[in-house]
Structure 1
Amino acid sequence: MTERRPESDRTPTSNPVLRRALLWGGALAAVVLVVSAVLGLVFAGTEGLVSALIGTLMAVVFMGITAASILFANRFASSDLFVGAFFGIVLGGWILKFIVFIVLVVVLRDADWLNPTVLFLSLVAGVIASLVVDVLVVAKSRMPYVSDVQLPKPPHDE
Protein backbone atom coordinates (compact mmCIF):
# COMPACT_ATOMS: atom_id res chain seq x y z
CA MET A 1 0.00 0.00 0.00
CA THR A 2 1.34 3.42 -0.88
CA GLU A 3 1.60 6.17 1.64
CA ARG A 4 -0.68 9.15 1.10
CA ARG A 5 1.08 12.41 0.65
CA PRO A 6 -0.13 15.40 2.63
CA GLU A 7 -2.18 17.89 0.63
CA SER A 8 0.46 20.56 1.19
CA ASP A 9 3.08 18.42 -0.59
CA ARG A 10 2.47 19.18 -4.24
CA THR A 11 5.91 18.12 -5.44
CA PRO A 12 5.42 16.30 -8.75
CA THR A 13 6.17 12.58 -8.65
CA SER A 14 8.02 12.90 -11.96
CA ASN A 15 11.08 14.51 -10.34
CA PRO A 16 12.93 11.24 -9.56
CA VAL A 17 12.36 10.05 -13.13
CA LEU A 18 13.74 13.28 -14.59
CA ARG A 19 16.74 13.21 -12.25
CA ARG A 20 17.44 9.60 -13.24
CA ALA A 21 17.18 10.54 -16.92
CA LEU A 22 19.69 13.35 -16.43
CA LEU A 23 22.08 11.09 -14.50
CA TRP A 24 21.99 8.18 -16.96
CA GLY A 25 21.95 10.59 -19.91
CA GLY A 26 25.14 12.19 -18.64
CA ALA A 27 26.81 8.80 -18.18
CA LEU A 28 25.86 7.62 -21.67
CA ALA A 29 26.87 10.99 -23.12
CA ALA A 30 30.34 10.50 -21.65
CA VAL A 31 30.56 7.15 -23.45
CA VAL A 32 29.33 8.70 -26.72
CA LEU A 33 31.82 11.55 -26.24
CA VAL A 34 34.78 9.20 -25.88
CA VAL A 35 33.73 6.92 -28.75
CA SER A 36 32.95 9.76 -31.14
CA ALA A 37 36.16 11.60 -30.20
CA VAL A 38 38.28 8.51 -30.88
CA LEU A 39 36.50 7.78 -34.18
CA GLY A 40 36.69 11.44 -35.19
CA LEU A 41 40.42 11.49 -34.46
CA VAL A 42 41.02 8.24 -36.36
CA PHE A 43 39.02 9.18 -39.47
CA ALA A 44 39.48 12.97 -39.67
CA GLY A 45 42.41 13.87 -37.45
CA THR A 46 42.31 16.81 -35.09
CA GLU A 47 39.40 18.39 -36.98
CA GLY A 48 37.40 15.21 -36.40
CA LEU A 49 38.27 15.14 -32.71
CA VAL A 50 37.17 18.74 -32.16
CA SER A 51 34.04 18.22 -34.28
CA ALA A 52 33.06 15.11 -32.32
CA LEU A 53 33.53 16.90 -29.01
CA ILE A 54 31.45 19.90 -30.10
CA GLY A 55 28.70 17.75 -31.66
CA THR A 56 28.34 15.53 -28.61
CA LEU A 57 28.40 18.47 -26.20
CA MET A 58 25.70 20.20 -28.26
CA ALA A 59 23.50 17.10 -28.05
CA VAL A 60 24.04 16.74 -24.30
CA VAL A 61 23.33 20.39 -23.55
CA PHE A 62 20.24 20.56 -25.73
CA MET A 63 18.77 17.35 -24.35
CA GLY A 64 19.62 18.29 -20.77
CA ILE A 65 17.94 21.70 -21.03
CA THR A 66 14.50 20.13 -21.40
CA ALA A 67 14.73 17.85 -18.35
CA ALA A 68 16.47 20.54 -16.31
CA SER A 69 13.83 23.15 -17.21
CA ILE A 70 11.04 20.75 -16.18
CA LEU A 71 12.80 20.04 -12.88
CA PHE A 72 13.24 23.76 -12.32
CA ALA A 73 9.62 24.50 -13.23
CA ASN A 74 8.42 21.79 -10.82
CA ARG A 75 9.80 23.91 -7.97
CA PHE A 76 6.76 26.14 -8.46
CA ALA A 77 4.30 23.26 -7.94
CA SER A 78 3.01 24.75 -4.69
CA SER A 79 2.22 28.05 -6.39
CA ASP A 80 -1.23 28.93 -7.66
CA LEU A 81 0.46 30.03 -10.88
CA PHE A 82 2.14 26.64 -11.41
CA VAL A 83 0.66 25.86 -14.81
CA GLY A 84 1.60 29.23 -16.28
CA ALA A 85 5.06 29.17 -14.73
CA PHE A 86 5.64 25.58 -15.83
CA PHE A 87 4.78 26.17 -19.47
CA GLY A 88 6.57 29.52 -19.52
CA ILE A 89 9.79 27.99 -18.21
CA VAL A 90 9.68 24.88 -20.42
CA LEU A 91 8.76 26.81 -23.57
CA GLY A 92 11.41 29.39 -22.69
CA GLY A 93 13.95 26.55 -22.52
CA TRP A 94 12.88 25.30 -25.93
CA ILE A 95 13.10 28.78 -27.44
CA LEU A 96 16.55 29.19 -25.86
CA LYS A 97 17.66 25.87 -27.40
CA PHE A 98 16.34 26.92 -30.80
CA ILE A 99 18.11 30.30 -30.72
CA VAL A 100 21.40 28.79 -29.49
CA PHE A 101 21.20 26.07 -32.15
CA ILE A 102 20.66 28.62 -34.95
CA VAL A 103 23.53 30.77 -33.66
CA LEU A 104 25.85 27.75 -33.46
CA VAL A 105 24.92 26.64 -36.99
CA VAL A 106 25.64 30.11 -38.38
CA VAL A 107 28.89 30.51 -36.43
CA LEU A 108 30.21 26.99 -37.11
CA ARG A 109 28.99 26.75 -40.73
CA ASP A 110 32.20 27.94 -42.37
CA ALA A 111 34.69 26.97 -39.65
CA ASP A 112 37.82 25.55 -41.29
CA TRP A 113 38.79 23.71 -38.11
CA LEU A 114 35.64 21.54 -38.10
CA ASN A 115 34.65 18.44 -40.04
CA PRO A 116 30.92 18.86 -40.75
CA THR A 117 30.32 15.13 -41.25
CA VAL A 118 31.84 14.17 -37.89
CA LEU A 119 30.04 17.05 -36.19
CA PHE A 120 26.70 15.90 -37.64
CA LEU A 121 27.23 12.22 -36.84
CA SER A 122 28.31 12.88 -33.26
CA LEU A 123 25.34 15.21 -32.77
CA VAL A 124 22.97 12.53 -34.08
CA ALA A 125 24.64 9.83 -31.93
CA GLY A 126 24.24 12.03 -28.86
CA VAL A 127 20.57 12.71 -29.60
CA ILE A 128 19.82 9.02 -30.23
CA ALA A 129 21.64 8.01 -27.04
CA SER A 130 19.68 10.58 -25.06
CA LEU A 131 16.39 9.36 -26.51
CA VAL A 132 17.28 5.75 -25.68
CA VAL A 133 18.05 6.75 -22.09
CA ASP A 134 14.78 8.67 -21.80
CA VAL A 135 12.77 5.71 -23.10
CA LEU A 136 14.51 3.22 -20.81
CA VAL A 137 14.22 5.41 -17.72
CA VAL A 138 10.53 6.09 -18.29
CA ALA A 139 9.80 2.44 -19.15
CA LYS A 140 11.53 1.21 -15.98
CA SER A 141 10.06 3.87 -13.70
CA ARG A 142 7.31 2.88 -11.34
CA MET A 143 5.01 5.81 -11.86
CA PRO A 144 1.35 5.38 -11.06
CA TYR A 145 -1.03 5.92 -13.94
CA VAL A 146 -2.74 8.61 -11.94
CA SER A 147 -0.28 10.65 -9.95
CA ASP A 148 -0.63 13.69 -7.75
CA VAL A 149 -4.36 13.05 -7.24
CA GLN A 150 -6.14 13.11 -3.91
CA LEU A 151 -9.19 10.85 -3.92
CA PRO A 152 -12.20 11.85 -1.82
CA LYS A 153 -12.63 10.06 1.47
CA PRO A 154 -15.35 7.40 1.44
CA PRO A 155 -18.56 8.36 3.28
CA HIS A 156 -18.98 6.97 6.77
CA ASP A 157 -21.74 4.45 7.44
CA GLU A 158 -24.42 5.99 9.59
Structure 2
Amino acid sequence: MSSTPLLRASLLWGLGVGLVIAGVMALIGFFVAGGEGAASGALGALVGVIFPAFTALSILLGNRWYGHPQWLQIFFAVVLGGWLLKFVLVIIALLVLFQVDWLVRGIFALAVIVAAVASLAVDMVVLSRMRLSGASDVTLPTAESLRDQE
Protein backbone atom coordinates (compact mmCIF):
# COMPACT_ATOMS: atom_id res chain seq x y z
CA MET A 1 0.00 0.00 0.00
CA SER A 2 1.23 3.46 -0.77
CA SER A 3 0.15 4.76 2.66
CA THR A 4 2.43 2.38 4.57
CA PRO A 5 5.64 4.48 4.29
CA LEU A 6 3.71 7.58 5.32
CA LEU A 7 2.27 5.89 8.41
CA ARG A 8 5.59 4.35 9.40
CA ALA A 9 7.36 7.70 9.06
CA SER A 10 4.64 9.34 11.12
CA LEU A 11 5.05 6.73 13.86
CA LEU A 12 8.84 6.99 13.93
CA TRP A 13 8.91 10.80 13.94
CA GLY A 14 6.09 10.87 16.47
CA LEU A 15 8.05 8.56 18.77
CA GLY A 16 11.15 10.73 18.50
CA VAL A 17 9.27 13.96 19.13
CA GLY A 18 7.36 12.29 21.97
CA LEU A 19 10.57 11.25 23.70
CA VAL A 20 11.97 14.77 23.41
CA ILE A 21 8.75 16.25 24.79
CA ALA A 22 8.74 13.70 27.62
CA GLY A 23 12.26 14.76 28.56
CA VAL A 24 11.47 18.47 28.38
CA MET A 25 8.21 18.10 30.33
CA ALA A 26 9.96 15.97 32.95
CA LEU A 27 12.57 18.71 33.34
CA ILE A 28 9.91 21.43 33.61
CA GLY A 29 7.93 19.28 36.04
CA PHE A 30 11.00 18.71 38.16
CA PHE A 31 11.66 22.43 38.49
CA VAL A 32 8.01 23.14 39.30
CA ALA A 33 7.15 20.26 41.64
CA GLY A 34 10.21 18.05 42.17
CA GLY A 35 10.23 14.35 41.45
CA GLU A 36 6.46 14.04 41.32
CA GLY A 37 6.29 16.84 38.77
CA ALA A 38 8.97 15.19 36.66
CA ALA A 39 7.09 11.88 36.66
CA SER A 40 3.82 13.68 35.88
CA GLY A 41 5.36 15.54 32.95
CA ALA A 42 6.94 12.45 31.45
CA LEU A 43 3.80 10.37 31.94
CA GLY A 44 1.58 13.05 30.43
CA ALA A 45 3.82 13.36 27.38
CA LEU A 46 3.77 9.62 26.85
CA VAL A 47 -0.01 9.51 27.12
CA GLY A 48 -0.23 12.41 24.66
CA VAL A 49 1.94 10.61 22.11
CA ILE A 50 0.94 6.98 22.52
CA PHE A 51 -2.79 7.34 22.10
CA PRO A 52 -2.67 9.28 18.80
CA ALA A 53 -0.33 6.57 17.47
CA PHE A 54 -3.13 4.01 17.84
CA THR A 55 -4.81 5.39 14.72
CA ALA A 56 -1.76 4.94 12.50
CA LEU A 57 -1.16 1.49 13.98
CA SER A 58 -4.74 0.43 13.32
CA ILE A 59 -4.52 1.62 9.70
CA LEU A 60 -1.25 -0.29 9.22
CA LEU A 61 -2.89 -3.37 10.72
CA GLY A 62 -5.97 -2.99 8.53
CA ASN A 63 -3.80 -2.62 5.42
CA ARG A 64 -2.42 -6.11 5.97
CA TRP A 65 -5.60 -7.54 4.46
CA TYR A 66 -5.25 -5.56 1.23
CA GLY A 67 -6.19 -7.80 -1.67
CA HIS A 68 -8.56 -9.93 0.39
CA PRO A 69 -12.11 -10.02 -1.05
CA GLN A 70 -13.51 -8.40 2.11
CA TRP A 71 -10.59 -6.01 2.53
CA LEU A 72 -12.70 -2.89 3.01
CA GLN A 73 -14.91 -4.49 5.63
CA ILE A 74 -11.91 -5.84 7.52
CA PHE A 75 -10.04 -2.53 7.20
CA PHE A 76 -12.87 -0.43 8.58
CA ALA A 77 -13.61 -2.95 11.33
CA VAL A 78 -9.97 -2.80 12.46
CA VAL A 79 -9.73 1.00 12.25
CA LEU A 80 -13.07 1.68 13.95
CA GLY A 81 -12.36 -1.00 16.54
CA GLY A 82 -8.98 0.64 17.17
CA TRP A 83 -10.63 4.02 17.67
CA LEU A 84 -13.16 2.54 20.05
CA LEU A 85 -10.41 0.74 21.98
CA LYS A 86 -8.38 3.96 22.11
CA PHE A 87 -11.36 5.92 23.38
CA VAL A 88 -12.07 3.41 26.15
CA LEU A 89 -8.38 3.14 27.13
CA VAL A 90 -7.99 6.93 27.34
CA ILE A 91 -10.97 7.19 29.66
CA ILE A 92 -9.73 4.31 31.84
CA ALA A 93 -6.16 5.67 31.91
CA LEU A 94 -7.29 9.14 32.92
CA LEU A 95 -9.66 7.81 35.58
CA VAL A 96 -6.90 5.66 37.06
CA LEU A 97 -4.21 8.33 36.80
CA PHE A 98 -6.34 11.01 38.45
CA GLN A 99 -6.67 8.72 41.48
CA VAL A 100 -2.89 8.58 41.94
CA ASP A 101 -1.78 10.77 44.84
CA TRP A 102 1.58 11.85 43.45
CA LEU A 103 0.27 13.01 40.06
CA VAL A 104 0.60 16.77 39.58
CA ARG A 105 -2.49 17.35 37.45
CA GLY A 106 -1.49 20.71 35.98
CA ILE A 107 1.85 19.45 34.70
CA PHE A 108 0.28 16.20 33.50
CA ALA A 109 -2.46 18.06 31.58
CA LEU A 110 0.02 20.50 30.04
CA ALA A 111 2.24 17.60 28.93
CA VAL A 112 -0.71 15.74 27.37
CA ILE A 113 -1.77 18.84 25.44
CA VAL A 114 1.75 19.71 24.26
CA ALA A 115 2.41 16.11 23.17
CA ALA A 116 -0.93 15.78 21.38
CA VAL A 117 -0.41 19.04 19.47
CA ALA A 118 3.15 17.98 18.60
CA SER A 119 1.84 14.62 17.40
CA LEU A 120 -0.61 16.40 15.10
CA ALA A 121 2.16 18.69 13.86
CA VAL A 122 4.38 15.69 13.09
CA ASP A 123 1.54 14.06 11.15
CA MET A 124 1.00 17.26 9.14
CA VAL A 125 4.70 17.66 8.34
CA VAL A 126 5.11 14.02 7.31
CA LEU A 127 1.98 14.15 5.18
CA SER A 128 2.99 17.39 3.48
CA ARG A 129 6.45 16.07 2.59
CA MET A 130 5.36 12.70 1.23
CA ARG A 131 4.94 12.41 -2.50
CA LEU A 132 1.76 10.44 -3.09
CA SER A 133 -0.18 10.50 -6.32
CA GLY A 134 -3.82 11.54 -6.30
CA ALA A 135 -4.80 8.03 -7.39
CA SER A 136 -2.66 5.65 -5.38
CA ASP A 137 -2.09 1.99 -6.18
CA VAL A 138 -3.49 2.36 -9.72
CA THR A 139 -1.95 0.70 -12.74
CA LEU A 140 -2.55 2.52 -15.98
CA PRO A 141 -3.09 0.51 -19.15
CA THR A 142 -0.14 0.08 -21.46
CA ALA A 143 -0.23 0.46 -25.23
CA GLU A 144 -0.03 -3.33 -25.59
CA SER A 145 -2.99 -3.99 -23.31
CA LEU A 146 -5.05 -1.42 -25.23
CA ARG A 147 -4.19 -3.11 -28.58
CA ASP A 148 -5.15 -6.50 -27.13
CA GLN A 149 -8.60 -5.17 -26.20
CA GLU A 150 -9.31 -4.05 -29.77
Instruction: Confirm or deny a common fold (TM above 0.5).
Output: yes
Are 1:104 and 2:93 counterparts?
A: yes
- 2:140 maps to which residue? 151
Residue 66 (structure 2) aligns with: 77
Q: Per-residue deviation at 1:152?
A: 4.0
The alpha-carbon deviation at position 156 of structure 1 amounts to 2.8
TM-score, normalisation: structure 2: 0.92
| Distance in 2 (alpha carbons) for counterparts of 1:63 and 1:124 | 12
RMSD, aligned CA: 1.6
Partners of 2:45 and 2:98 in 1: CA distance:
17
What is the CA–CA distance in structure 1 between the aligned matches of 2:31 and 2:56, rounded to whole Å?
Answer: 33
Tell me, which stretches of 5 or more residues in structure 2 are unaligned?
Answer: none
Q: Report the structure, 1 or 2, having the larger helix content.
A: 2
2:49, 2:119 within 8 Å by CA — same for their partners in 1? Answer: yes
Q: C-alpha deviations, 1:21-71, integer Å up to 9, x for none?
A: 111111111110110000011111122111112111111210111111111
Query: Aligned pair 1:21/2:10, yes or no?
Result: yes
Q: Which amino acid aligns with 1:103?
A: I
* Range 52-61 or range 137-146, more displaced: 52-61
Distance 1:18 1:107 in 2: 30
Q: Secondary structure at the match of 1:76?
A: coil
The structure 1 residue matched to 2:111, chosen from 110, 122, 127, is 122
Matched, 1:43 2:60: no
- 1:153 shift after superposition: 4.5
Q: Distance in 2 between matches of 1:99 and 1:37?
A: 26
> What residue number does 1:8 align with?
none
Structure 2 residue aligned with 1:5: none
Aligned to 2:48: 59
Paired residues in the alignment total 147
Which secondary structure does the structure 2 equivalent of 1:143 belong to? Answer: coil
CA distance in 1, matches of 2:79, 2:33: 37
